[in-house]
Amino acid sequence: MAGAGKVLALTGGVGGAKLALGLADVLPAGDLHLLVNTGDDFEHLGLHISPDIDTLLYTLAGRANAAQGWGLEGETFNALHALGELGGETWFALGDRDLATHLWRSEQLAQGASLPEVTTALAARLGVGCAVHPMSADPVRTTVHTAAGELPFQHYFVRERCAPAVTGFTFTGIESAAPNPAVLQLIADGSLGGIVICPSNPFVSVDPILQLPGLAAALAGAGVPVVLVSPIVAGAALKGPAAKMMAELGVPATAPGVARHYATRYPGLLDHFVMDDSDATLVPEIERLGMAAAVAPTVMRSREDKQRLARAVLALLEL
């Protein structure tokens, strides 16, 4: 179809944001739509915080602190320090400028705007050129089941630094959460050319998106190829707890372990599985799961790395 070149990319925070930036660089303006996990969202100090959306917006706006992987470049932490002096909670490192994002978002939500509306406005104000869609306007909250009990996601991830061994996950609210209608519309209107699942954590970044009622089926039925980039390279996660979680859940912490997760939960969804050059020997193992396997340099350090991987992904989508 002429003009059917839009790309929908599912993503969580840091790892996914890198590929999202590469895609934003190489795609024509307006062709990239990001569908972002909000299972990590939480209410803290009275503020609505959307860590994955913010990492994505800051990355796309060129304001992210690349070295630390979260927050803003040149950030200060004077409010957090003062809050600590008052005996307030400081385990979630809120920077001063980052705080403005949360204050602004929280106020807009309190005034009745939806999370998608607030996110669109925030993206525009930060100068982000692509469409950033929270996965749902409805609250979904990831709980991590661990050997030490159930923990809200940010408590597990930030406060406990992913230390407790994971036994499972609950996405509270997901049964009644509607997928973002803008994304369903994008799938329905025939303008989509392909779907990308960014190298994000399968359990806590991508599963919350794909388990929204009807969404995985809508993506699988969109009639466009779906490409996933493995978040596991040579048996390790480049960032975050994905490999640790897989080991704790008794899943091999390998690219085929990731592929099997998707093949089992979302049969037929993935057409292409992209893994790092260093995992090339695992191609046959992936292909036995019924998807095409491709290798590419998936470790994205430089801006050029991101753009090169984006081009490789788009080539598989024939875009």
Binding residues for its own copies, rule: CB under 8 A, are 45-47, 76, 78-83, 85-88, 96-101, 103-104, 106-107, 110, 122, 125-126
d(CA 122, CA 114): 12
| Of residues 111 and 302, the one with the C-beta less far from its own copies | 111
* Residue 72 beta carbon to its own copies: minimum distance, rounded to whole angstroms: 8
Amino acid at 253: A
- How far separated are the first and last CA of the chain, in Å rounded? 12
H or E stretch at 10:
strand 6-11
* Residue 90 beta carbon to its own copies: minimum distance, rounded to whole angstroms: 10
d(CA 46, CA 160): 21
| Of residues 99 and 210, the one with the C-beta less far from its own copies | 99
| Of residues 122 and 312, the one with the C-beta less far from its own copies | 122
| Of residues 107 and 318, the one with the C-beta less far from its own copies | 107
* Residue 136 beta carbon to its own copies: minimum distance, rounded to whole angstroms: 22
Residue matched to tokens 């049969």: 267
* Residue 106 beta carbon to its own copies: minimum distance, rounded to whole angstroms: 5
d(CA 203, CA 38): 13
| Of residues 125 and 161, the one with the C-beta less far from its own copies | 125
Query: What 3-state class would DSSP assign to 289?
Result: coil
Beta bridge pairs of residue 43: 48
What would the two tokens of residue 166 be? 């994971």
* Residue 171 beta carbon to its own copies: minimum distance, rounded to whole angstroms: 25
